[in-house]
Amino acid sequence: MKPFVRRCRHGIVLSAVAAALLGLTSPAGHAQVNLPSLGDSVSEDLDVGSERRIGEQVMRQIRLDPDYLEDPLLEEYLQAIWAPLVQAAKQLGNIGDETRDRFAWETFLVRDRSVNAFALPGGFVGVHLGLIAMTSSRDELASVLAHELSHVTQRHIARRMTGDSRSSLLATAAMLAGLVAASRGGNANVANAAIVGSQAAAAQMSLNFSRDMEREADRVGFNVMNHADFAPAGMVSMFERMEQAYHLMDSGNYPYLRSHPLTSERIGDARIRLGTLDFVRPRGMAEHALMAARSRVLMDQRAEAWTQLQNLDAGTRDAQGDGSMQAKSYEQLGARYASALASIKMRDWPRAEKAMRSAELTLQQLGGDVQATRLLRYLRAELALARDKAGDGFAALRLLTGEQSRPLLLAHAQLAMVDSGSASAREAASDLQTHLSVNANDAPAWSQLAQLWNKLDQPLRAVRAQGEARAAAGDLNGAIDRLRSGLRQSRSRDVDQIEAEVIDARLRALLYQRRQLLSELYPRGAPAGAELPN
């Protein structure tokens, strides 16, 4: 589990979340950073509710980090793999009544080139884009997610925490929040000093999982992915891929190998388990090739990286036949998608169009695939959006007959912003409002709605949507500031009084929520003027 990092002009700075939680080496002083004792998983000091609260406090900081990625298509794809695994874990009894409804069971994306995934307290699992980019099938990705899910279901994180009292648990959460604030100053030495000077330095304990825990997560995860109808060979092939890459570990590209060291015993056990099962043919190869390609483009936003990706499909020939040639075609499909998306990012429209047509032709040669065809339609809409051609984007998405998805909803909203008329904006705002009535924690949807309300000259509604976006992202201070601003606006002009009353009610609710969180951070009483860290 690699520390979650924040990039700034001073370089990579340790996030306190990762430094304190994961016990990994700091970049400046190479000192071992360990978590204060928090209590055993079976003790009353670290019950399920307390573990979830730690996870929530950590996630409030992570969601504000610029490397926390919100991409509707990749999020949807990750969720399509994660949800069956969670369901299988419930059916197998790995997720019991105690944690079923109290843990988050939530995945999130990290914009990072390194190959890594990690579990946090309370059922949160982070996935680096570098991991998705290096996998060749959904089954390989599912094997990693199943392994991390099993760390959560077996309470491995809680087992690695020992301590004396609930107050020490809450004090630790407060320390984590404070260290994140220090790390955001852009100076690794400041963050390092805060970490080393904290209680963490005295604990002398690491949260790296033991070998027994790794073997247990392998065994449980293997059963979970098999029960969820993923090809179990994906775990073996993922192990083999990692084993081949092991010599790259010291370069920092494979932090997953540091926290999840491969042993011949683990690899051998996986091969033995696979030998007892019937062969399951991998599915969704074309779709995964496109999502891996999308990850390659989004994980590194440097112009030189995009230029290299533009050249991925240079000189490739259309593959014919089957077997190894078909596998090569999936690689070509991904290369052409990556070239097209990178060209869009570089605003090279002719090259984007050429690569897109090549991708469509390659997919036809592979026999077509409904999900992959859908993703190429979204790519066409993405090109139209970048060129401010809303009509072309709407036309591309119109072919997705009957679809009612979050990516489609957000794509329509983005296109409506560049549309010269207001009818599409009103329709998109109405659709988003309906979506948010049952998905109130969708921060990107709230942000998009705020832009639409501004375009429709509804400033009070826009301010409220901005506040809700901050609240959904975990930034209660920012949410409260925005809603207070909206309340001041409602008193100084002729505005919709119903909307003003909604803002007033939400402001009161968020102020109460902040007081509750402060009482958890400061169990002996919050000092005067105490604020939640941002």
Which of 127, 145, 184 is closest to 298 using CA atoms?
127
Structure tokens at 238: 């993922």
CB-facing half-sphere around the CA of 384: CA atoms within 13 A:
23
Domain edges within the chain? 5-275, 287-403
What confidence score (pLDDT) does residue 69 get? 94
Query: Region 337-347: what's the mean pLDDT?
Result: 98
Q: From residue 208, give the alpha-carbon distance in Å to each of 20, 138, 281, 409.
A: 12, 26, 34, 40
Which of 453, 476, 455 is closest to 465 using CA atoms?
453
What confidence score (pLDDT) does residue 361 get? 95
Q: Which long-range contacts (CB under 8 A, 24 or more apart) does 437-441 make?
A: 440/468, 440/472, 441/472
pLDDT tens for each residue of 468-498: 999 999 899 999 999 999 999 888 767 778 8
Q: Is 12 helix (H, G, I), strand (E, B) or coil?
A: strand
Longest dimension (CA), the chain: 73
- As a whole number of angstroms, the distance between CA 225 and CA 144 comes to 10
Which residues, in sequence order, are CB contacts of 467 under 8 Å at separation 6+?
478, 479, 480, 482, 483, 486, 503, 506
pLDDT tens for each residue of 1-11: 444 443 433 22
DSSP string for 140-204? HHHHHHHHHHHHHHTTHHHHT---S-HHHHHHHHHHHHHHHHHHTTS-HHHHHHHHHTSTHHHH-
Over 60: is that where the pLDDT of 188 sits? no
CB-facing half-sphere around the CA of 387: CA atoms within 13 A:
18
List beta partners, residue 430. Answer: none
pLDDT tens for each residue of 165-174: 444 444 444 4
Over 60: is that where the pLDDT of 25 sits? no
Q: Of 22-26, 181-185, 263-267, 295-299, which has the strongest mean pLDDT?
A: 295-299
- As a whole number of angstroms, the distance between CA 343 and CA 306 comes to 7
Q: Is 20 helix (H, G, I), strand (E, B) or coil?
A: helix
What's the distance, CA 174 to chain centroid?
Answer: 23
Torsion of CA 92, 22, 65, 517, to 10 degrees: 80
pLDDT tens for each residue of 225-283: 999 999 988 998 888 887 776 655 555 566 666 666 666 677 788 888 887 776 667 78
**Helices 324-345 and 349-365 meet at what angle, rounded to 10?**
160
The angle subtended at Cα 320 by Cα 314 and Cα 324, nearest 5°, is 90
